[in-house]
Structures are given as structure tokens and as C-alpha cells.
Amino acid sequence: MVRGTRYTLALFVPVCVTLIVLAEPILDAWLGDRYGSGDLALAILVSYWLLYGGLVVTPGFLVGAGRAREVARVMVCAAVANLALALVLTPELGVEGPAIATAVPFFAAFPFLLRLGLSASGASVAELARRAWAPNYALGAALALCLVAGRAVLPMDRTAAVMGLAACGVLAYWGVFYRGVLEPEERALVRGLLRSSGPAR
């Protein structure tokens, strides 16, 4: 669980942070100026993946550990809450309504899935916080500051600048994580995976 959380957060956190900080210019560049006002909805919709991204591997091993019923119970409750909140919030808030209706139930479900994962794996919250949460969220905060600075100095009305800043931020995060956070055997594993996924000779 610790390794899975450590790695999946490393994949999700930089993407989520980038989409949150650069939501408006990314929507403008991708869909056009008229869609930039959807930046708040995009940021809200992406926000729960900052937590849930660390649980991507959890449902799979919980099913393998015979806890499928408990996982299903949590996810059904989240789905019901999602539908109920969407019906209530959408008429009042517009496009932000479904975003909130999606994010809030998953934020609420997080501690229950986390508890199940910890009990099934034997991992501790302290170990998870030290090896997975702390490095990823610290790098995520640093990335957010860099993106805010980049957004202030670069011409965000140019698609190349927006996409370049977004791509460089994500790649820089992964580079720092690879060199500064991963242990030598983990870096060897990454290199092996990259080699095995390359074109066959």
C-alpha cells in the first residue's frame, strides 16, 4: 500500500496541481476563450484526485484480500451522495454544482477507504505519511508556487506558453521525484520499466 500510494501520488499530484493552478489558461487554450469561466469547476473536479490518486491501487488489493463487499459499500454510498448532491446543487450553482457533487463524496469516502487499506495491508499512517504523503505534497506545493510565478510572468494568452509551462512543471516534478525522492533500487525499477516498454528490437 505504501509503495502504491507513493508512486500513484507521484503521477497524479503534479497533473492535478497543474490543472488547478492553470485551469483558466488551459481551458482557454484548449477549448477557446468562452470556456475559461469553467476554471473553478475544473479545479474542484480535479481536487479530490490529490487525495484519491493515492488510493488507485487500494480497491484492487482489497478485493484480493476478500474485502470487496466493504469497498463496494463505500463506493455505492459515494455514488448515491454524488447523485443527490448533483440534483440539489446544479440548479443553484450551474457547472460548479456537478463538480462539487463529485468531489465532496470522494473526499468523504477517503478516510473509510484509507482505513480499509491500512487494516488489510498492515501499513501504518505514520509510514504512509512519511514515505508517500510528505514528499509528494511538499513537491506539489513547490510546483504550485512555481506555476503561480510562471503564470505571472509568461503570456498566458499564448497556447505555446500555457502548454509549455504546464508540461515543464509536470516533467520537473517527476525529475525531482526521481532524483531526490526515489531510492536507488526504485530508480533501477523505473529504468527497467522504461526499457521494457520501449520498442522491441
Residues 86-131: tens digit of each pLDDT? 999 999 998 899 999 999 999 999 999 999 989 888 889 999 999 9
Number of Cβ within 10 Å of residue 31's Cβ equals 11
Domain end call among 103, 122, 141: 122
Tell me whether residue 16 is in a domain.
yes
Q: Residues 6 or more apart from 132 whose CB is under 8 A from it?
A: 2, 5, 6, 9, 54
Domain end call among 122, 146, 161: 122
What pLDDT, on a 0 to 100 scale, did the predictor assign at position 36?
73
Q: Residues 6 or more apart from 24 whose CB is under 8 A from it?
A: 36, 39
* Whether residue 114 is found in the same domain as residue 170: no
- Domain region containing 97: 57-122
Tell me whether residue 4 is in a domain.
yes
* Whether residue 113 is found in the same domain as residue 130: no
Quote the DSSP letter at residue 11: H
How many domains, the chain?
2
C-alpha–C-alpha distance, residues 12 and 8, integer Å: 6
Confidence check: pLDDT of 63 > 90 = no
Angle at 176 between CA 173 and CA 181, to 5 degrees: 115
Domain end call among 122, 139, 156: 122
Side chain identity, residue 52: Y
122-167, pLDDT tens digit by residue? 889 999 999 999 999 999 999 999 999 999 999 988 899 999 999 9
Tell me whether residue 145 is in a domain.
yes
Q: Is the dihedral of CA 48, 49, 50, 52 positive or negative?
A: positive
Tell me whether residue 6 is in a domain.
yes
Tell me whether residue 101 is in a domain.
yes
pTM of the model: 0.89
* Whether residue 196 is found in the same domain as residue 134: yes
Tell me whether residue 96 is in a domain.
yes
